[in-house]
Chains A and B, each alone.
Chain A
Amino acid sequence: MITRRATLMGAGLAALLATAPALALDEAEKLEHVTVELVAPPFVHPHEQATKAKPKVIEFHMPIIEKKVVVDDEGTTFQAMTFNGSMPGPTMVVHEGDYVQLTLVNLETNSMPHNIDFHAATGALGGAKLTFVNPGEQATLRFKATRTGVFVYHCAPEGMVAWHVVSGMSGVLMVLPRDGLKDAHGRHLHYDRVYTVGENDLYIPKDANGAYKSYESPGEAYADTLEVMRTLTPTHVVFNGARGALTGEHAMTAKVGETVLFIHSQANRDTRPHLIGGHGDWVWETGKFDNPPQKDLETWFIRGGSAGAALYTFLQPGVYAYVNHNLIEANELGAAAHVKVEGKWNDDLMKQISPPGPIVAH
């Protein structure tokens, strides 16, 4: 590892030397720097939807935390690897033209090297080459947000990318247009709330009796987990790290008349979110805001390794289910969330003309 670090440092020095004249004129350094406190999904840190400000350098500080988590109501445990302690990692929001400056900290207590690949970044494997940190190390990466949209970020250590990703190491960076979101006709769109739903496909080994195995460290779980991964059949498909992470007292909330932006990310595997009893008013299925959003979708497709965004104004109160509409994955494997929406019922949109009762001749 020391050799590797030395090599990376050497490469960094070489790059600095090669661009030595530019170093003194680093324009980004002169820009205003602001620090953002990250929050765990489904919530997103406070941000402007449109901004008149000049581009800034937005600084983020993110520890990597390896920890054992419980992923279902049967107490099944899982050796998670996380950005900032959550699955998915925190959603980061900047505007086009801003610079993302991330300090990635690999805690001393961790057992493995990690890094980060931003799908929004250009070069160096999305930054992965420049952020490879061992336990007890940190690195700071700066890149310019040149394309708008919601983009996946994930860990990508050579030879172990898939394992780190399905262990929970992914999240979303949202790069907003400086003048905010627009519909297909160029009209401004605004949201009252934004939620990030990160979908995780988990591959947890079982013992000879069919009971899920529990491990004391990621390393111990590796060989068995890889075997399950190679079946391409997840044992769990969940939102935000665990079955029930977004239901009951943790259900998302909204009010009738409010517009909600649902960001949906899946760093590994295709999925198809659907809001039962609602719609996607405007959906960026591929998640990139320079493409016009699609209108009135029933279900939208999120390609594995991407994030999408759906904007919806709630028109009716009640408890909505937000699911992966492969309903076997939703019901059996866990990919279901709820949205509790309060407000006034609209009889014009829907009314029960007669409640269930005996069949009558007509």
Chain B
Amino acid sequence: MAHAVKLALAAMLSLGAYAGEASESTDADTTPLATIAATPIAYRLPGEFVAGDMPVNGPVIELKPAQSFTIMKRQVSEADYAACVDAGACQKLAGTPGRADDLPVVGVSWQDAEAYARWLSVQTGHRYRLPTDAEWALAAGPAYRPDALTDVADPNDPSKRWIAVYEAESKAEAVAERRPQPFGTFGTNASGVMDAGGNVWEWTSACYTRQAWDETAGAFRQTTENCGVRVVEGRHRTYMVVFIRDPRVGGCAVGRPPANLGFRLVRDDTAEPSS
């Protein structure tokens, strides 16, 4: 069911509390939300890292969230997105998009996701936004793995790493079924988050960065930030240009590209200031 319809129904029936377990759901926003506790996890920083001339893996840190946050339990559905298109606030997708309320919308760019977040924020009076990469990792639970494809990095022979990465990507389990599946097909984690790491990869708000090892500081230092490319999360992490809707033409150079691009949103507790 589309959000707009749900909202209208809720208003007519003057219901007090709605589906969704976030305790503050005392308004008309029926979006099912999961609360992600502020539990530390091992987290590999996103971006490309170089030490000297050599590409290396990003460091793994202990990510300690300052506070809990709420995120959509499921990815945004075809019906959700269609409501935004009907309202004239989102771009129509290619082909003949479906309107199912139990299937994730796919074939969406980062720009499409941003437009939807703006629209949903206005509709609900809450601030919805794409998760940061760290938030996605926290929400995904066991579906997030900080593993690197390979540890191979030979300063005298760049081909060693190219081949090792290629082999790791080739061996990685292929997505057997590319078509989007009903919510819950890929499981629900302890926080109530569904389908993380399934066959729909998700946009994050994180910009692409390049970080170089600074020997004197003993740390990586950011040398480049490119917000025209964002971090995409799922079974493996990748980077996509913001206007790409079909991931097969957008990233993972010679490797296995994501099967589909979709998204879910974080809801901040603070309400949008009414205009």
Known: A248-B256, A354-B53, A358-B224. A345 touches B212 (CB 8 A): no
B223 cross-chain contacts in A, Cβ below 8 A: 357-358
Is the Cβ of B170 less than 8 Å from the Cβ of A357?
A: no
Is the Cβ of A345 less than 8 Å from the Cβ of B159?
A: yes
User: Closest CB-CB distance, A350 to chain B, in whole Å?
Assistant: 9
CA distance A251 to B162 in the complex (A): 14
Is the Cβ of A344 less than 8 Å from the Cβ of B166?
A: no
Known: A210-B95, A354-B53, A357-B212. A251 touches B170 (CB 8 A): yes
Is the Cβ of A356 less than 8 Å from the Cβ of B256?
A: no
Interface size class of A (residues with CB under 8 A): 20 to 34
How many A-B residue pairs lie within 8 Å, measured between CB atoms?
Answer: 71
| Nearest B residue to A250, CB-CB | B170
CA distance A38 to B160 in the complex (A): 34
User: Closest CB-CB distance, B12 to chain A, in whole Å?
Assistant: 35
A37-75 vs B: 1/0 string, CB under 8 Å? Answer: 000000000000000000000000000000000000111
Is the Cβ of B249 less than 8 Å from the Cβ of A319?
A: no
Question: Which residues of chain B (15-33) have a CB below 8 Å from chain A?
Answer: none
Is the Cβ of B50 less than 8 Å from the Cβ of A355?
A: yes
| Nearest B residue to A75, CB-CB | B178
Decide if the interface of chain A is mainly helix, strand, loop or mixed: loop
Is the Cβ of B163 less than 8 Å from the Cβ of A319?
A: yes
Decide if the interface of chain B is mainly helix, strand, loop or mixed: mixed
B162 cross-chain contacts in A, Cβ below 8 A: 318-319
CA distance A291 to B229 in the complex (A): 50
B153-170 vs A: 1/0 string, CB under 8 Å? Answer: 000111110110011011
Is the Cβ of B53 less than 8 Å from the Cβ of A345?
A: no
**A342 at the binding interface (Cβ < 8 Å):** yes
CA distance A212 to B76 in the complex (A): 26
B169 cross-chain contacts in A, Cβ below 8 A: 248
CA distance A341 to B158 in the complex (A): 13
Is the Cβ of A352 less than 8 Å from the Cβ of B178?
A: no
Is the Cβ of A249 less than 8 Å from the Cβ of B171?
A: yes
A247-262 vs B: 1/0 string, CB under 8 Å? Answer: 1110100000000000
Chain B residues within 8 Å of A, Cβ to Cβ:
50, 52-55, 95-96, 156-160, 162-163, 166-167, 169-171, 174-175, 177-179, 210, 212, 223-224, 249, 254, 256
- 23 residue pairs bridging A and B, Cβ less than 8 Å apart: A209-B95, A248-B169, A249-B170, A249-B171, A251-B170, A318-B158, A318-B159, A318-B162, A319-B166, A338-B166, A340-B167, A345-B156, A345-B157, A345-B159, A355-B52, A355-B53, A355-B54, A355-B55, A356-B210, A357-B210, A357-B224, A358-B223, A358-B224
